[in-house]
Each structure stands twice: as C-alpha cells, then as structure tokens.
Structure 1
C-alpha cells in the first residue's frame, strides 16, 4: 500500500506505530472486538451504537440486566452459487456476543433500539428512582 508523503511529514512515526499494532495483533492472535461499539452518556440516559454490517436484525438479541447490556447474534455466511470458491475472505462470520458495562443501572422499560444501514443504535434510560433529585432550599 502506498502512503502519501504528506503523511510522513506530518507524523514520521505513524507507519512505525501501525506496523507495531499490526505485529501485536498478529502475535497475540487477537482480533478487534465485534461488533465495534461506541458508548456515551447524558444525565438520564446512555446511547450505544454497534456496527453490524451484513447482520440481519432478526439475528440480533439485546438484553439488559442491572448495568450490563449484552448484544448477541450471528452473522451468516452469504449464499454462494454452486462451484463458487472464496478468493478472499476477510470478514468474520458466525455467532458473536458483546457485553458492555454501562455507567448506571438500566430501566428495561426505557430501552429503545433501531437498526439502519448496518448500524444498531440503542438508547437506554436510568430508572427514575436513580436519577439525581434536586433538593430545594427553604429560606429561614
């Protein structure tokens, strides 16, 4: 793969870091976690996105217990025509499970999930009893 010269001028060690990361992954045998997720939180809720290209929404299970959200499912092998042979196969297939510890307990009735363009978006809310309550100060 050719790298633009501008990349080297901006960061002469970028290629070394990438080679080191690739080597570590090769030696440890560790693959990136699947699915890749992002988690962020607000005061009353958190949002989770998971990249699930090629996964049918019917093959995804979402569960929550206390402060752990678990995604599981299966990415199936595509149907190949008779006589077809793989030339290159870089995407993994099969069953997956990913547990994400959230920064608070989750109210199971306040969970909503949407799946669009291979990205699963989940919103999880805190139980009302766990939300911070503002205490008014009375004069005198």
Structure 2
C-alpha cells in the first residue's frame, strides 16, 4: 500500500497576511452585487439621476482641487486624485483609517452625458459633479395641439 504525503517544501508557512480580511471579503461581495469595484466601494458617494442630468457627490476629505483629475466619456466617469499627506508620522499608531496616497475610481453612468458641459466643484471635502444628460437621453415634452374641424382625419 502506498501513502501520499504532501511535499512540505512546496507549502508556504501560514501568515495572517495570507488570510482574507473582512474588508477584502466585503469588497468582493460589493463588487459582485453592485458591479462597482473595490476602490469605488471605499469612496463614499451618492449618484442621482434627474430628468436632465446625473448628479454625483463624492466625499474626498483633504483632497485639493489641483490634486484631482476628472474625465468623462459617454457613460464612463473616471476620478483620479491624491489625498493630502496626513501628519503625525512615527510613534505608535493605534488606529489608521484615514485615506492616504493616490486613488482612482471608474464609474459606469446610467446614461451618456455631455462631457463638454460637466460642472465640478469641491467644497469642504465634498466633490459635487453635475453631468448633463446627452440629448438622446433627455426626456422631451411633446406638444399636443387641438385638431381643427376643417382638418381631414388620419384614418380616411
């Protein structure tokens, strides 16, 4: 009888870094259920569609306007930026959850937008984007006129 024993040299030692964190598991679940990538799931944002535009608010504490690069093409919005460096380097850090470094987020918008008419403002760490819908996605009111008696009916 032959017994197979795994080759111990091919096994990596256990480390806590190799285990998925609750954050990475949550990111994967959010990506699967919402279609948003993990970097999007970490950025607090609101996306609202009105009859004429798409409105987006993104919380970006410590980000300056000159550290942002926003691009939009049809239905794709990309926001790239850099968080301002956080002071208090060194010492014993007990909790570190403030965002640091570069980030980027790519969103698929619900409709195409007019990229030449986008308005972006940053106030107190809140980025506000107003993206006008492309003409083909805007609701258009159709005027209904009263038919006159002397007009011939369509079904004649």
- Normalising by the residue count of structure 1, what TM-score does the alignment of the two structures yield? 0.69
Question: 1:34 touches 1:96 (CA, 8 Å); kept in 2?
Answer: no
Larger Rg: 2
Match of 2:25 among 13, 28, 42: 28
**Long gaps (5+) in structure 1:** 1-23
Match of 1:69 in 2: 77
Shift of 1:36: 1.4
Q: What is the alpha-carbon root mean square deviation over aligned residues?
A: 2.6
CA distance in 2 between counterparts of 1:136 and 1:87 reads 65
CA distance in 2 between counterparts of 1:68 and 1:119 reads 20
Match of 1:87 in 2: 93
1:121 aligns with 2:118: no
CA distance in 2 between counterparts of 1:127 and 1:85 reads 52
* Residue pairs, 1:98-113, within 5 angstroms: 98-113=105-120
Match of 1:134 in 2: 141
SS at match of 1:43: coil
Shift of 1:101: 1.5
**Long gaps (5+) in structure 2:** 1-20, 28-37, 148-152
SS at match of 2:42: coil
Closer, same or farther: CA 134–58 of 1 in aligned 2, 3 Å: same
CA distance in 1 between counterparts of 2:99 and 2:71 reads 23
Match of 1:59 in 2: 67
CA distance in 1 between counterparts of 2:88 and 2:54 reads 40
Closer, same or farther: CA 39–29 of 1 in aligned 2, 3 Å: closer
CA distance in 2 between counterparts of 1:26 and 1:49 reads 23
CA distance in 1 between counterparts of 2:23 and 2:52 reads 41
Closer, same or farther: CA 79–26 of 1 in aligned 2, 3 Å: closer
SS at match of 2:55: strand
